[in-house]
Structure 1
Amino acid sequence: MSQESRPHLPARADSTPDAVRSGKLEVDPLDPQIRRFVSELAQAWLRYPETGTRSIVEMRRIAEQVRAPWREGGPAMAVTRELQVPTAQGDVRIRIYRPQANIDAQPGLVYLHGGGWTMFSLDTHDRIMREFAARAGVVVVGVDYALSPEAKFPFALHQIVDVVRWLHANADSLNIDASRLAIGGDSAGANLAVGTGLFLRDAGEAERLRGMLLIYGCFTNELSQQAMNGFGAEGNLLTSAEMTTFWANYLATPADALDPLASPLRAQLGGLPPAFLMSGRCDVLAEQSDAFAARLRAAGVAAVLNEYAGATHSFLEAVSISDVADRAIDDGAAWLRACLRA
């Protein structure tokens, strides 16, 4: 795959810090319900005071506990089951969410959780996957891909490619319509979803995927100065410093940042399936969804970008209390239904 020049990240007039001052009046750009979500997450982390440098294992353990209340509730599934999928990189656990039982083969969505390739799990994103399954009427397959820094690029990507191929080979026994399979994910999961699409396209297997659901995605390791000084500054839900750490965890060498499978904004994008991109206006990565949607369209790929005012990174996790998260999931589900229509 040929490599593009340095990706262009457009300037955004709204890349303001978490709270900005206008005269003597402090203006909060966050939606009030999203502000509550951000504040409660911050308070939860304070229950785990620093006692020196935390190991990555400890960070994951705390992150699971902090996120636990936000996966509660939501729609019930008719069937939820876990399987081990054989891949060239060892067995990979998947979790299958089926919203309806005893009906004909249903379309499917392979879902890849976020967390900077470093944290989070099928459990942290359990509610998001159930919401999409119920609202879109699709079988959602969550993939428990290997995390970094233990597994470096492209290990997890190759696992996911093998899972997609396995789903096609075993679709009949899983009661999934392999001709109507999409891939999606949030943050680093969106990055992996596009990387999977690029890999399959270049292998002559583009027909395996009908669409890409890309939620506040990370598509390059580069951030504009405006983003770093704005919603990437300290005090925001996702900071530019955290993104630097996540990329360092994920990439085997600095040169890997130039690989289009790691940084899809550098890729030739023609021949990818249609995409629906969702981003929060108050997110350090919002500029990347802007740029990636524009690049997709320029390459002839059908791409829709919805940006949600007052929303931060990870805002879909606030669906239990947030109208904007509820609306965004509805939008993504509606696009999936249309994309996967027989």
Structure 2
Amino acid sequence: MTAAVPNHVDLAVPGGPVGSTWLRLFRPSLPGGPLPIVLYVHDGARSAADARIRRMATRLMTGLPLAVVAVDYSLSPGARYPVALQEAHAALEWAAAGSAGHGLDGRRIAVVADPGAAGLATRLVVTALDRGEGSLVAYVPVGPRMRASLRTALGLPSPARRRSAQRRSA
């Protein structure tokens, strides 16, 4: 299944250890919304502007009506713990409270993590749950069942249901 390259915009959002955190927001080319959000926590080997991040956003969005937010968090060894966690949390807070102006649904957020970022993503989810931030609906590691898990957690129709509904309406 092929997909168009998603549109993206770079945003500086409030929060994080230096007062603002950079994000890259990927949206489908077609209008629509409010879209559920995947907060993609990449491993520390690249920035949100990396081509591999774009490929992952495209993979996540293929056939699913959602947006992807990639955090451009500070990488080690220059940044020490908990800087990346604070920046990822700033992105999560923005997604939950400040993203409506971009046509996003801050009540439906899933965290997706590369294997190399599983520790950071787990700490992010635990911190959010400890603080009572109820906008998270799933934590999904990158893997073979990732898209099916996102579809279920975000309440998105499965391709089989979508085809069945299209046949009934025809």
Given the two structures, how large is their TM-score scaled by the length of structure 2? 0.81
Deviation at residue 101 of structure 1 after TM alignment: 2.8
Q: Kindly indicate whether the alpha-carbon contact (under 8 Å) linking 1:136 and 1:336 is maintained by their aligned counterparts in 2.
A: no
The yes-or-no answer on 1:98 pairing with 2:27 is: yes
Instruction: Provide the residue aligned with 1:210 in structure 2.
Output: 137
**1: distance between equivalents of 2:148 and 2:138?**
13
**Offset of residue 186 of structure 1:** 0.4
Higher strand share: 2
Q: Distance in 2 between matches of 1:191 and 1:138?
A: 24
Retained in 2: the 8 A contact 1:182–1:210?
Answer: yes
* Alignment partners' CA distance in 2, 1:150 and 1:78: 31
Match of 2:112 in 1: 184
1:339 is aligned to 2:145 = no
Determine the C-alpha separation between the residues in 2 that align with 1:204 and 1:136: 28
Contact 1:180-1:209 within 8 A present in 2 as well: yes
1:130-149 to 2 correspondence within 5 Å?
A: 130-149=58-77
Q: What SS does the aligned partner of 2:120 have?
A: helix
Partner of 2:167: none
Partner residue in 2 for 1:19? none
Alignment-derived partner of residue 46 in structure 2: 120
Q: Cα–Cα, structure 1 residues 128 and 143, in superposed 2: closer, same or farther, change >3 Å? A: same
The percentage of counterpart residues that share the same residue type is 28
Which ranges of structure 2 fall in alignment gaps of 5 or more residues?
157-170
Give, in whole Å, the separation in 2 of the partners of 1:190 and 1:100. Answer: 29
SS of structure 2 residue aligned to 1:129: helix
Indicate the SS of the match to 2:31.
coil
RMSD between superposed Cα atoms in Å: 1.8
Q: Which has the larger radius of gyration?
A: 1
Q: Per the alignment, in what secondary structure is the counterpart of residue 62 of structure 2?
A: helix
Give the C-alpha shift of residue 88 in structure 1: 3.3
Q: For 2:47, give the aligned amino acid.
A: S
1:100 Cα offset (Å):
4.2
Post-superposition CA distance 1:108-130 (Å, at most 9, x none): 1000111xx3x222213220121
- Which amino acid counterpart does residue 200 of structure 1 have in structure 2? A
Q: Kindly tell me: are residues 341 and 100 of structure 1, through their superposed partners in 2, closer, same or farther at Cα, counting changes over 3 Å?
A: farther
8 Å CA contact 2:40–2:71 kept in 1: the answer is yes
1:108 aligns with 2:37: yes
Runs (4+) of structure 1 moved beyond 6 Å? none
Query: Number of residue pairs matched?
Result: 152
Q: CA deviation at 1:174?
A: 1.4
The answer to whether the 8 Å contact 2:108/2:154 transfers is yes
Q: Is the 8 A contact 1:77 1:97 kept in 2?
A: no
Cα-to-partner distance string for 1:63-118 (whole Å, 9 max, x where unaligned) = xxxxxxxxxxx63245211111221312222111112432120111000111xx3x
In 1: Cα distance, 2:104 partner to 2:77 partner = 33
Say if 1:137 and 1:337, in contact at 8 Å, map to a contact too.
no
